[in-house]
Structure 1
Amino acid sequence: MQENRDPAFAAWVAAESAAYTAIHSLHQFTCGGRKQASAAQIEKIAMLRVEAAARFAELQGKFVAPTSTVVHIGTKRPAKEPVRPIMVAARAVQRLSSQAPAA
Structure 2
Amino acid sequence: IWGLALLGVLFKLAFAHRFEALSLVTYLTMGWLSLIVIYQLVTRLEAGGVTLLAIGGVVYTLGVIFYASKRIRFGHAIWHAFVLGGSACHFMAIYLYV
Q: Shorter-chain TM-score: which interval?
A: 0.3 to 0.5
TM-score, scaled to structure 1: 0.36
Point out which structure has higher relative CO (alpha carbons under 8 A, 6+ apart): 2
User: Which structure has the bigger radius of gyration?
Assistant: 1
TM-score, scaled to structure 2: 0.37
**More helix as a share of residues:** 2
